[in-house]
Amino acid sequence: MDDNDTPVRGSDNMVSQPSQNANSYDIIDIGGSKLRDYLLAALQRDFLNKKDPEVPYVSDIFTSSDEGLELWSTITSLPTWYQTREEIDLLRRWGPDIAKHVRPGTSLVDLGSGDVKKITPLLECLEAQEFGVTYYCVDLSRASIAHGLETLSARRYRHITLVGLWGTFDAAKLYLDQIASPRFLASLGAEIGNDTFDSARADLASWAAKMRPGDQLLLGLDGTRDKTKIWKSYHHSDVHRFIRTGMASVNATLPSPWFRDEDWVLDGEIRTYPEEFSHRFFFTALRPVSCPEAGVSFSPGDRFECCESHRKTPAEMRVIFKACGLNEIQFWKSPVGDMYEYLLVLQDEP
């Protein structure tokens, strides 16, 4: 996890130095420097002290370490990793249409910006519209934000101002109040609303509660139901390595390291209940694992889950949108697969 102690200049505003002749940018600490507290709270909520039959769960936020994000960039180029390729194809094909919904002076807030590969086609379309837009990239990883902004600043945009927001989505929700201009929230790569029906509804409702009339939410979600394609994408050695790097972050967050690779086998499953189509990874203990200092104790055969990911059809998503006060004004489908981009506003907006 990029939880470094970089000195902060000014109040909470960290100013980075982009290379010569490129756009300048700021990275604002909206709580990223206190990431360990957030991670610990996530473990206390989802992983530690679970009573039967609850299965302990490790959130995918633990894969956002420097090592994890480096691996992520490799994964997104794998031939089997269709998710990134199909969404980028969508954004290249439909970027000009999507950009037409963005008005002058808008603040584009990219939730979980990662390596900025996906947002770039949209930024290119916005630049071509020749009016001012501010691009805020939100991420847990400061290294990722700095790398992303450095990449974008080299493009020397004339109409796009670049700002990094280092912190969690919850912190970004609060920061939205400070942005007076219309906000265009972008969740690419299923960052939000990627959950069971009830949790997805609660998640999207919490974003809807922060939206004002005139704001928009662009929601990218995977609707693929091809089990072989999904399985092949997740069960590649690089992806398994990526999942295991998340456990190194869990070790670093708890008071004592307890997870050793050799004690655990990693596998996955696709669940197809009437109201759910999901994939999740799980680790199964090969031998007793006990670490009182970290608060964990597992018997051989015990398991815990991680990195859950859901697939919903547009019809299923529409039920959720309606239930959380959002109105879909348009949606776009990837020209090469079942990846969707939904454009949402508050209900009852003209």
Q: Interface residues with ligand SAM (CB under 6 A)?
A: 61, 64, 69, 72, 84, 112, 114, 117-118, 138-141, 144, 168-169, 188-189, 191
Cβ neighbours around 267 below 10 Å, total: 12
Residue (189 or 193) nearer to ligand SAM, CB = 189
Q: How far is the CB of 262 from ligand SAM (least distance, A)?
A: 27
Q: How far is the CB of 19 from ligand SAM (least distance, A)?
A: 22
E strand spans, the chain: 13-15, 25-29, 57-58, 107-111, 133-139, 160-166, 183-187, 216-222, 264-273, 276-285, 289-291, 296-298, 303-310, 326-333, 339-346
Q: How far is the CB of 84 from ligand SAM (least distance, A)?
A: 6
Q: How far is the CB of 32 from ligand SAM (least distance, A)?
A: 8
Q: How far is the CB of 141 from ligand SAM (least distance, A)?
A: 5
DSSP secondary structure, 6-55, as one string: PPPPSSSEEEP-PPTTSPPEEEEESSGGGHHHHHHHHHHHHTTTPPTTPP
Residue (83 or 298) nearer to ligand SAM, CB = 83
Residue (258 or 311) nearer to ligand SAM, CB = 311
Residue (68 or 298) nearer to ligand SAM, CB = 68
Given a contact cutoff of 8 angstroms between Cβ atoms, the answer to whether 184 and 215 are in contact is: yes
Cβ neighbours around 13 below 10 Å, total: 12
Q: How far is the CB of 69 from ligand SAM (least distance, A)?
A: 6
Residue (139 or 298) nearer to ligand SAM, CB = 139
Cα gap 152→141, rounded to integer Å = 17
Residue of closest CB approach to ligand SAM: 189
Which 3 state secondary structure label does DSSP give 270?
strand
Q: In terms of DSSP H, where are the helices of 196-340? A: 197-208, 227-234, 237-253, 314-323
Q: How far is the CB of 39 from ligand SAM (least distance, A)?
A: 10
Residue (188 or 326) nearer to ligand SAM, CB = 188
Q: How far is the CB of 139 from ligand SAM (least distance, A)?
A: 5
Residue (166 or 258) nearer to ligand SAM, CB = 166
Residue (3 or 191) nearer to ligand SAM, CB = 191
Which 3 state secondary structure label does DSSP give 140?
coil
Cα gap 210→19, rounded to integer Å = 35
Burial class for 158, CB neighbours closer than 10 Å (0-12, 13-18, 19+): exposed
